[in-house]
Amino acid sequence: MRILLILFIVIFCTPDIYSQNCKQLIVSGSVGWNPLVMQNKETKKITGISYDLIMEIGKKLNIPVKFQILPWKRMLVYLDQGEIDVILGIYWTKKRSEIYHYSSPFLQNEARVFVLKEKKFNFRSFKDLIGKRGDIPPGGSFGDKFDKFSKKHLKLSGIKDRSSRIKRLLLGRCHYFIADYMDGMWTLNEQGMADKIVPLPKAVSKTQVYFAMSRKSKCPNIAAEITNYIEIFKNDGTMKSIIRRYIRNK
């Protein structure tokens, strides 16, 4: 009877995440998406809301977490292939949801149009951007509605580096760039440009931020486990505590 009880515990009570091949979580994220994933220039240490959240989840699951720095497009490919397990911060799109597992959202962000302070223009709808040159991150998505509209009507350039987008705006090579509000303001303040470049009031989109998990992960139950702890952390104050480390008045 005792042997049967032990077998029941092992088979039915051990989470699927602890499969024989699940030895660690390999995660990545868009380094420089402030304040979600950041890297200290001197120590090279990774910090941020998303990073701290996955580290807390790793502790709860008693599984090591390894962060791997990757370019965004390669990151998406690696997630699809199961080379990494989790992307720490991504927007939901229908196309992506068919490729990856999504967690529940842990943060809401706004995408804004950033312009030179002396060259502000009325932005009430996407149509107001027609005929203007804009910059976005390569492969960047700002919600299904904007993505569909921009493919048909807008002149957008994918510019990887944040400093390059700021420089191009200052030189008049574009009329605006689109960035996440928190990330954009963080970067402008860091570079002393917040008095020259400003966000227009209307949001391009208000978007929930998620973790994306590979459907080919060696940790087969990781999506359910991550979502479970995100919901727990939302309710027990852990999520608010993490956010307060990086964003005041939250």
pLDDT digits (tens, 9 = 90+) for 42-78: 999 999 999 999 999 999 999 999 999 999 999 999 9
d(CA 94, CA 105): 15
Whether 48 and 35 have beta carbons less than 8 Å apart is answered as yes
Which residues contact residue 247 at a Cβ distance below 8 angstroms, ignoring those fewer than 6 apart? 35, 49, 182
Selection from 29, 111, 41, 40 nearest residue 70 by Cα = 29
Domain ranges across the chain? 13-107+209-244, 109-207
DSSP bridge partners of 155: 133
Residues 6+ apart with CB under 8 A from 209: 36, 50, 89, 90, 91, 105, 106, 107, 108, 109
Looking at the chain, the number of H-run helices and the number of E-run strands are: 9, 11
The CATH code that applies to domain 109-207 is 3.40.190.10
Which of 239, 212, 15, 241 is CA-nearest to residue 104?
A: 212
Give the residue-averaged pLDDT of 11-32.
72
Containing H/E element for 135?
strand 133-136
pLDDT at 14 over 60: no
Q: For the ranges 104-113, 121-130, 166-175, 185-194, which has the lowest average pLDDT?
A: 185-194
Pick 13-107+209-244's CATH classification: 3.30.200.20, 3.40.190.10, 3.30.70.380, 3.30.70.20: 3.40.190.10
Query: Are the C-beta atoms of residues 211 and 106 closer than 8 Å to each other?
Result: yes
